Structure 1
Amino acid sequence: MKLDDIKLFYYLKNFLKNALPDSYFKKLFNSLKEYELECDKKELNARLDYYFKVNTVFEVPEEAVAVQDFRKTKSTTYYLDFKEFINFFSSHIKFAYYFGDETHINDYPTLFKARPIYGNNANSILYKLNKRRHFRWVNDTLDFSKKKDKMVWRGLAWHALRTDFVKNFHDHSLCNVGQINKLDAPKPWVKDFLSVEEQLKYKFIFCPEGNDVATSLKWVMSSNSLCIMPKPNYETWFMEGVLEAGVHYVEVASDCSDLEEKIQYYIENEKEAQAIINNAHEHVKRFQNKKLEDLLCVKVLERYAQLSNQKDYYKF
């Protein structure tokens, strides 16, 4: 276990870091700006344009909050993820943001963790929020060919996609699936928690969306197991909207009516399964360069300040 996996340590470290003098943040800022000169500009600009689709000047929304007035309200992790980078900006600069799992689209440009993939979603600007929970990778040493010929899933089931799924497949011979949230009356699809390490013993891992994206998707795509899921409707900093069925993951119908067929197919066609896993790993690599990730977080905020006509936006 990494130290950052311990919630108390993670919070303590980041609150202490935010209390450091400006000289510390100036050094970090200069380091990122130096990295910008040598980084992959094509990748930087492509991702920045993906996250920030607004390309015209806009007024600072009334709901925007100045850096000097930014305070913790809801989630501590959201607060820390945002605070980490607004430390580089002048106290008068304002940003409109939303902390939470909702995916509504405001009528003014707003920083969100997630947004709908389809439709006019430009006002929802993607930002890397709640990253401690979502951006987890695994070091999977077990080859796909040596894993169990089954699909696994454990998670909370509140929405129809998940509740219908566990009711229909909890006792299927090709599945080890169940919800971990308890119900008023005992049900056979309510099962015990299963660690990530245990889930990695299976060839297939189900990644159904919940309130927005599947939290597990990132670590599953970094593993040697095959991700199975219905076509995603939401996207985050991980750019779920660019994932292709049959290329990065195995797509099943929303009611999972073809699930057995898909599992059986990839059990019998391991080379095709491995090709999809390799492509998933390539996608994951785009998010594993910490300097590029940090620079992109800064560039999103920079573009927000620029397009909202805010002057002298950098502190340094």
Structure 2
Amino acid sequence: MATLQRTTAKVFYYARNVMRDIAPQAIFRRRLASRLQQARLSDEAVRRRLNHYNKLQDAFTPGPDAVRIDKIPFEPSMYYYDLKEFARYFDRSLLIDLKFGDVIGVPKLPTLVKDRPIRADNGNAVVMKFNKFRHFHMPLDTVAFADKRPAVVWRGDLNNPIRTRFLDVARDLPFCDAGSHKRSAPAKYSKPFLSISQHLRYRYIVSLEGNDVATNLKWIMNSNSLCLMPPPTYETWFGESQLEAGIHYAPLDPDFADLGEKVRYFEGHPAAAERIIAAANAYCRKFSNERDEHAISLLVLYKYFVLGGQIEPDPELWRFIGG
């Protein structure tokens, strides 16, 4: 259930992006050179993230289904606006291969996506910060770990066998409040809906992948609760492949047989839980640096267009990208 604050933020998100679309787009294109010059002055962390999201090294040709920047499909609207926020700085005739929505495979051609499988050969999946209003909602948590309920919580759709396997282990454990709030859930798995703020009353929150990444991972790691999860198999702009088990989250075995053991350990060693929470919070903070987020987004697109043979590279900027 959306809060008034969240609803207001959504209205502002759409209003701001509609105004950008109404404005003469030439205004943005004239600013590209200065924006890229600013991006070139960024630090090594920006370059590292840029080249993680866009792993392309070789020249390529856009595919037959590539779309012009001024013809990007409007649906889903949040994907459209998240791409146009940065694509509008480039010539409107430039071509982009893109896939909106959940992507569970690696495209055959270099393609802009929200997510990709975590594996060595995923370079054709060029990650952009799509659907960020939903995936990067990280509300402030003011309740200390010690003051939370000493129990495990999870809610979600049973759209993945992993989630059903977890509930088969957790649903009858006395220290777990785990289930699905969806009407389609079997009665034995059914539990009432919980808001994010209600989740944050618990010390331990489980994050489980669904169709692709786990949407709740970002706000859990930004909170004062401890994230419990199996190692991720998909990644987004959040860089899930960069997360370290035992450093940024408490790992769970794929069969969840160690769930009780992990909770007992951290109940007996709260300082260990708080160290992981502090590292997770620090990991999340970089995504609130709007200057870096804008620079990386522009550079991901710039690199894509250069290697796609659509832009002649500026030598100094290309040297920055290459390191």
TM-score band (shorter)? over 0.9
Structure 2 SS opposite 1:286:
helix
In structure 2, the residue matched to 1:289 is 289
The alpha-carbon deviation at position 58 of structure 1 amounts to 1.1
CA deviation map 1:102-133 (0-9, x unaligned)? 22111111111111112411111111101010
The alpha-carbon deviation at position 145 of structure 1 amounts to 1.1
The gaps in structure 1 that reach 5 residues or longer are none
Structure 2 SS opposite 1:204:
strand
TM normalised by structure 2 equals 0.90
In structure 1, the residue matched to 2:318 is none
Q: Percent identity?
A: 36
Q: 1:129 to 1:313 in 2, by over 3 A?
A: farther
Q: State the Cα RMSD in Å.
A: 2.1
The alpha-carbon deviation at position 265 of structure 1 amounts to 0.5
Give yes or no for contact 1:111–1:125 (8 Å, CA) kept in 2: yes
Residue 78 of structure 1 pairs with residue 74 of structure 2: no
The number of residues matched between the two structures is 311
In structure 2, the residue matched to 1:156 is 157
Between the aligned partners of 1:27 and 1:236, the Cα distance in structure 2 is 30
Counterparts of residues 59-70 of structure 1 (less than 5 Å)? 59-70=61-72
Structure 2 SS opposite 1:232:
coil
Between the aligned partners of 2:167 and 2:105, the Cα distance in structure 1 is 27
The alpha-carbon deviation at position 37 of structure 1 amounts to 4.9
In structure 2, the residue matched to 1:250 is 250
Structure 2 SS opposite 1:62:
coil
In structure 1, the residue matched to 2:21 is 18
The gaps in structure 2 that reach 5 residues or longer are 315-323
TM normalised by structure 1 equals 0.92
CA deviation map 1:279-302 (0-9, x unaligned)? 101111121101111111111110
Between the aligned partners of 2:265 and 2:285, the Cα distance in structure 1 is 27
Give yes or no for contact 1:136–1:219 (8 Å, CA) kept in 2: yes
Q: 1:308 to 1:128 in 2, by over 3 A?
A: same
Between the aligned partners of 2:34 and 2:170, the Cα distance in structure 1 is 51
CA deviation map 1:21-43 (0-9, x unaligned)? 23652576466345425432x01
Between the aligned partners of 2:228 and 2:33, the Cα distance in structure 1 is 42
Residue 44 of structure 1 pairs with residue 22 of structure 2: no
Structure 2 SS opposite 1:205:
strand
Counterparts of residues 200-215 of structure 1 (less than 5 Å)? 200-215=200-215
CA deviation map 1:213-254 (0-9, x unaligned)? 100111110000000001110011100001010000000011
The alpha-carbon deviation at position 6 of structure 1 amounts to 5.0
Give yes or no for contact 1:102–1:212 (8 Å, CA) kept in 2: yes
Between the aligned partners of 1:28 and 1:189, the Cα distance in structure 2 is 53
Give yes or no for contact 2:32–2:90 (8 Å, CA) kept in 1: no
